[in-house]
Amino acid sequence: MRTPTRHRPTALLSGALLLGAIAARGEAAPPPEAPRDRFGGSTVLTAEATGAFRLARFGDRHAFVTPDGGAFLALGLNHTHVFLEEDGAPSRHVRGAEASRRSARIVSDLRAWGFNNSGYGAPPETWARMPFIDQMTTSGCSRWRSRKAFKYEDVFSPEYERNVRRLIEAVTTLTKDDPNLIGYFWTANPEWTPALARRRRGTDWVTTVRTLPPDAPGRKAYVRFLEERYGEDASRFREAYGLDARDGFAALDFTTLDPERPAVAADDLDFLGRIAERYYGVIGPLTRELAPGRPILGERYALRDLPRPVLEAALPHIDVLSLQQIAIEFEAEAIDALHEATGKPILIADHGVAYPTEDHPRTVWEDVEDAAAVGRAYRRFLDDAFSRPYFVGYLRCQYVDRPAGDRLRQGVLRADGTPRTEIAAAMRDANLAVAARLDARAAARPDEPADEPADEEEDG
């Protein structure tokens, strides 16, 4: 990504001024907000207060529960940390009083727009003021990493386990006792699917592991996999792989292997499952150990990059299935199927809809014609998603405009700090409707059990 152009927030309109601007234009006032607990949870659909965010079910409705016991459907705005960049430079953040002022502005805006959390990527200065989600990068295989920074680890090695323990401990030490912490994400958009990864990166996780040095733990695990699958049947292996294993699998040079061969591709998917079992079998228990009781929201999977063996390996270790999708409309068929297969509550961890402007004719998301259409699309998405009782949260990209190469990450604020009031007002209306939906459930079903622990549901 190119270095962002330099710009300074000049007209810093507060959330309160936004509402005044709406009224001044003669637009309808947003609906009144129902009373919430101090974390933004419902005061009419409630459960036991435990002092920390957790997950529960109210009948068939999955939801978070705030530390004070209020049912809570997460509505957040991601990447607010960029608002603290000094003149738009990612490597320099404002400090002291200016950081405090901008952080207060972030929280004020999000609350005025009906959001109840700051998603992920919130500056630490906001953590005490509003619920947030923390994140830890447990692998270097995020699709957002540069070619130089991208990597697949040998997760079978003791060194990986030591390194990731230090990483998880560093993150959780800061936030595990914070009552505003909703939960933890792991890696963003990991590149799991071998064929997709090869198109983007020229390699994949299985290829990386099998071409490690002969004494590497991952390479040894791969050789054991082949031994289990093919035994001493060198002819069957040669037919499948086009390699001669008469001297044993450990002696093979896998750099010449064609991963597109049908038998190789099928075996690779199975071994990818073993990589995933080892990977999640390390980071899952470590996260539980170092942040006991805190919801694990898992990796932020691209909807089109979630192989079944990987999903099956992750399920025992996550509380929520977190997804990212590009399409403007909620992808109901695919997401319904994932819930049906897993039994997990689902959260959209990053999503956006934008519109082209004269200065920025291209954005990183799918575009609609104008700001009004953005607002309508936002409302449709939330109405569709939250009509499903398994759906527990939606996180929006993003708070303030920032360039992304030759495109724009379009925010609710322009780069100069002025809000796109039409979008902000539409978001507020849609967000308050989600909260009202949750409250209405309590009125409609007053005799149902207060809550059932979410982890008692079978994982299908």
Count, in order, helices (H) and strands (E) of the chain.
Answer: 12, 15
Beta carbons of 105 and 419 less than 8 angstroms apart: no
Distance CA 28, CA 200 (A): 47
- Bridge pairing between strands 61-65 and 54-58: antiparallel
Distance CA 88, CA 82 (A): 8
Rg of the chain over CA atoms, in angstroms? 24
Instruction: List Cα–Cα distances, 135 to 139, 231, 336, in angstroms.
Output: 12, 42, 26
The answer on pLDDT for 399 being more than 90 is: yes
Best CA proximity match to 412, nearest among 402, 453, 215: 402
- pLDDT at 49 (0 to 100): 97
Q: 3-class DSSP state for residue 243?
A: coil
- pLDDT at 311 (0 to 100): 98
Q: What is the mean pLDDT of the chain?
A: 90
The answer on pLDDT for 7 being more than 60 is: no
Give the residue, 434 or 234, on which the prediction is more confident.
434
Q: 3-class DSSP state for residue 253?
A: coil
**Spans of all domains in the chain:** 15-190+273-456
123 backbone dihedrals φ, ψ, rounded to 5°: -65, 145
- For 125, what's the count of Cα atoms within 13 Å in the CB-facing half-sphere? 20
pTM of the predicted model, to two decimals?
0.90
Beta carbons of 132 and 122 less than 8 angstroms apart: yes
Give the residue, 54 or 31, on which the prediction is more confident.
54
Distance CA 392, CA 25 (A): 34
The torsion defined by the Cα of 441, 442, 443 and 448, in degrees rounded to 10, comes to 100
The residue-averaged pLDDT of 4-29 equals 41
What six digits make up the tokens of 358? 């004269």
Distance CA 172, CA 407 (A): 34
pLDDT digits (tens, 9 = 90+) for 116-172: 999 999 999 999 999 999 999 999 999 999 999 999 999 999 999 999 999 999 999
Query: Yes or no: is domain 15-190+273-456 CATH 3.30.70.330?
Result: no
| Backbone φ/ψ region at 10: left (φ over 0), alpha (ψ -120 to 50), beta | alpha
DSSP category for residue 294 = -
- Beta-carbon contacts of 24 under 8 Å, excluding residues fewer than 6 positions away, are none
Split at pLDDT 50, 70, 90, the class of 9 is: very low
Distance CA 396, CA 4 (A): 21
The answer on pLDDT for 18 being more than 70 is: no
pLDDT digits (tens, 9 = 90+) for 204-219: 999 999 999 999 999 9
Beta carbons of 419 and 109 less than 8 angstroms apart: yes
Sheet holding 391-396, edge to edge: 74-77, 391-396, 346-351, 321-324, 296-302, 181-188, 132-135
Count the neighbouring beta carbons within 10 Å of the beta carbon of residue 260: 10
- β partners of residue 347: 322, 393
Percentage, residues of the chain above pLDDT 70 = 88
- Bridge pairing between strands 321-324 and 346-351: parallel
Tokens 């990986």 belong to 160
- pLDDT at 93 (0 to 100): 85
